[in-house]
Amino acid sequence: MSGAVFSHKPLDLRPISVETTVSPEQLARMLARIEGVFTKWATDRPHWTVLTAPKYEPEQFEANRTQFFESGRANVRTFKAFLARAGIDIGAYRSCFEFGCGVGRITVALAEVFERVIGADVAPPMLAEARRTADSFKVANIEWLLTNRFSAYDALPEYDVFVSIISLQHNPPPVMAYLLTRMLAKLRSGGVGFFQLPTYNADYSFSAETYLARPENNDIEMHFLPQRILLDLVRRSGCRLLEIREDGWTGGGNMRTLSNTLLVEKN
C-alpha cells in the first residue's frame, strides 16, 4: 500500500533466561515480598498503586474518579470484543474470578455482567478499598478474597470466567506460572480465561536464588514470563488458545519489551 508506514517489534530478539521451577519455600518467600510491597503502597495511595499516574494520587483522585473507573469498564468492553471475535456469547457465563482486583476498578464493571464475581488481591488495604468501591457503586454480588497465602486458592469454587489485567506482571515468573496453573485449573469446562502479562524484555533474566538474595525493597516490580513457557502452561492446563495479542501495558513504544493479552478456553 503506497505511503503506509508499518512498525513492529523486531523478530530476531535473543532468548532470555527465566527460571520458573522453584521450591515451595522459595515460592512462599516471593509471595510474602509481593504482599509487603503492595500493602505498603496501597495503605496510602491505593488508586495510584493500581494506575501509576499523578492524577490518581490521593489529593487528585476525586477529580479523576470517573475516568479511573471508566478505564475498568473499557477493559471489560475489550474482553467482550475478544469473546465476540471468538464467537462466544458472554451471556452463557454466570461466575467470574478476577485475580489482582486492586481497589475494584475492573471488578465493579464485571459485577454488571456476571451474577457472581470473586475479587482477589494479595494486599489487605486493597481489599478494604475495594469494599468501599463496591459500596459506593451499590454493588452487592462481589465476594472478596485475600490471597496472601497460596492455600487461599484451595477452597475456591470452579468458575466460568477468569480475568486478570496488569496484575500478574508484578509477580516473579515462578509465582506467575504457579498462580496461572492454579487459576486455569478452576475454570469449568467451556469456561474462558482473559488475562495479560509481559512475555519478553531483552534486558531481563530471572534466577530465584539471585532474586531472593537481594535485600527487600518497596519497589513495584515488573516481571516477564516467556511465551514458550506461557503457551505450554495453557496447554497443560487443559485450555486452548483462542487469541493472543500484543498490548501496550508495558509501554507499546519499547521495541525490546513485549506484553500479551490472551483469551483461552477450557477444553
Whether the per-residue pLDDT at 248 is higher than 60: the answer is yes
Return the C-alpha cell found at 52.
501509576
pLDDT 10s digits, 54-82: 999 999 999 999 999 999 999 999 999 99
Per-residue pLDDT, 229: 97
| Domain annotation covers residue 19 | no
Q: What CA–CA distance (Å, rounded) separates 184 from 215?
A: 32
pLDDT 10s digits, 191-231: 999 999 999 999 999 999 999 999 988 899 999 999 999 99
| Domain annotation covers residue 3 | no
Domain range for residue 121? 24-266
Whether the per-residue pLDDT at 252 is higher than 80: the answer is no
| Domain annotation covers residue 152 | yes
With contact defined as beta carbons under 8 Å apart, do 208 and 19 qualify?
yes
* Percent of the chain scoring above 90 in pLDDT: 90
pLDDT 10s digits, 1-49: 344 444 577 888 899 999 999 999 999 999 999 999 999 999 999 999 9
Per-residue pLDDT, 208: 98
In terms of C-beta density within 10 A (0-12 exposed, 13-18 middle, 19 or more buried), how is residue 212 classed? middle
Per-residue pLDDT, 5: 42
| Domain annotation covers residue 6 | no
**DSSP structure class, residue 233:** H
Find the CATH number of the domain harbouring 87: 3.40.50.150
Distances (CA, A) of 127 to 11, 70, 145, 207, 255: 41, 19, 8, 31, 35
| Domain annotation covers residue 68 | yes
Q: What CA–CA distance (Å, rounded) separates 143 from 101?
A: 11
| Domain annotation covers residue 154 | yes
Q: How many domains does the chain have?
A: 1
